[in-house]
Amino acid sequence: MQHDAPAEVLDAPPSNDPVDVLRRHADHPSALLAVNQETLRFRAPDIDGLIAYRPAGRHHLVMVAGITAAPGQRAALLDRFLDWARRERRKVVAVQMFRDDAVLFASRGFRVNQIGASYSVSLDRFRISGTPFIKLRNKISRARRSHVSVLELGADVPVTPHIKEAIAAIDREWIKDKGAKELAFLIGEVGALDRLDRSVRRLFVAMQNDETVAYVLYTASFGRHTGWMHDLTRRKPDATTGVMELINITAIERFKAEGAGMLNFGFTPLTSLADEHEIAGAHSRATAWTFRKLARHGSFIYPAEAQLQYKLKWAPDLIQPEYIAFQNGATASGLWQFLRLTRAI
């Protein structure tokens, strides 16, 4: 005889765990930034969703990766967040969002400008055969001839104290490396390796002569961009040429075998800027001019061109403009707090 499930199971509310909320409603490949260690999450008790943010200075809040909620509730969640920010006497800066969210911010009186773009590859169509990929294949072959192997932590090799220390050493060398820049707050975190959850974070390491010489962190993407994001990359300064490419092609082959849809290479600021991407009536001409100047001459702030060239070599077939929005108009103080928060200065 069959029995109905208990009412409390049938009527159980959805999980409030932030990762579960992302799985239900996130539609941005960088949405997992919401669970970074120092990132805060705004929630409304009657809305299934969240907004990821961090305080910046005494007067600003910086949002990241748009609004995570069902389409019919995104506007309401944003309005709740803006009301709360006003009570806290803080202005909002929102960064790294797609056009639909940018239009919503524009409707709330924000000045909105394109700040860069995201680049993604459809894995079901991806191949590295043919003339356009000769240089890429040569780099991968060079790494393999140098006896570099790639393993996934927690799948191909366990997390050992030796590997943990090697990864920590790579991080220390990378941070010390002169001129190394990374956009803190806009990149993922490896987290505690002993608790590495492969459903949302996967770490592939390159080994040479039993030494860990590089790694790439891939983080889960949800919604229309379901798959993985090529997130945090680190390597020893003297690592063999092609080591990062070998890691990535190894991960791609595994993701394809698992049926993943997309490999997202994430947001690169100051790239693919174009007038047609701006939102008419909402953008600041002065801000657009500043971003274009930085794109041409701002490598001292962030090496956008080098990041872009790495991504373009994988022939992304989806390029999406991303936006930044300033409440009450773009201001020098708002931009300054954003740059400080991301460690771009």
Residue 11 confidence (pLDDT): 46
- 76 to each of 45, 99, 307, how far by Cα in Å? 12, 18, 36
Based on the fold, state whether residues 208 and 288 are members of the same structural domain.
no
Say yes or no: 191 and 152 in one domain: yes
* Residues 279-291, mean pLDDT to the nearest whole number: 90
Evaluate whether residue 128 is within a structural domain: yes
Closest CA to 52 of 28, 73, 72: 28
Q: Do 229 and 282 lie in a common domain? A: no
pTM of the model: 0.89
CATH number at residue 41: 3.40.630
Q: Is residue 311 part of a domain?
A: no
Question: What is the structure's pLDDT at 82?
Answer: 98
Confidence class for position 2, pLDDT limits 50, 70, 90: very low
Q: Per residue in 8-40, pLDDT tens?
A: 334 446 788 999 999 999 999 999 999 998 899
In this structure, the answer to whether residues 197 and 70 fall within a common structural domain is: no
The pair of structure tokens assigned to 305 is: 């061109």
How many Cβ atoms from other residues are within 10 Å of residue 4's Cβ? Answer: 7
What is the domain range of residue 174? 121-266
Residue 41 included in any domain: yes
Q: Is residue 200 a part of any domain in this protein?
A: yes
Q: What is the pLDDT of residue 14?
A: 77
Contact 264, 320 (CB under 8 A): no
Last residue within a domain, chosen from 266, 291, 312? 266
Q: What is the pLDDT of residues 228-256, one digit of tens each?
A: 999 999 999 999 999 999 999 999 999 99
In a domain, 229, yes or no: yes
**Looking at the structure, do residues 131 and 168 belong to the same domain, yes or no?**
yes
Exposed / middle / buried, residue 65 (Cβ in 10 Å: 0-12, 13-18, 19+): buried
Nearest to 94 by CA among 82, 86, 80, 76: 82
Question: Same structural domain for residues 39 and 81?
Answer: yes
Instruction: Say whether both 24 and 91 belong to one domain.
Output: yes
Q: Name the H helices within the chain.
A: 7-10, 18-25, 74-87, 99-107, 134-145, 161-176, 243-258, 285-297, 304-312, 332-341
- The answer to the question of residue 52 being in a domain is yes
Q: Give the total number of structural domains in the chain.
A: 2
Could you write out the DSSP letters of every residue in 258-293?
A: HT--EEEEEEEET-S--GGGS-TTT--HHHHHHHHH
Share of residues in the chain with pLDDT > 70 (%): 87
Query: How many C-beta atoms surround the C-beta of residue 245 within 10 A?
Result: 22
3-class DSSP string for 129-140: CCHHHHHHHHHH
306 belongs to a structural domain? no
Query: Are both 113 and 125 inside the same structural domain?
Result: no
Q: Residue 298: its pLDDT value, please?
A: 67
Do 138 and 112 share a structural domain? Answer: no
Check whether residue 191 and residue 211 sit in a common domain.
yes
132 shares its domain with 109: no
Burial class (CB in 10 A: 0-12, 13-18, 19+), 128: middle
| Residue-wise pLDDT tens digits, 295-345 | 887 666 667 788 899 999 999 999 999 999 999 865 545 555 555 545 544
Instruction: Inform me whether the pLDDT recorded for 180 exceeds 80.
Output: no
Cα separation, 221 vs 218, in Å, equals 9
Is the domain of 209 the same as that of 222? yes
Q: DSSP character for 90?
A: -
Residue 314 lies in a domain: no
Which among 321, 338, 344 has a CA at the least distance from the CA of 115? 321
CATH number at residue 242: 3.40.630.30
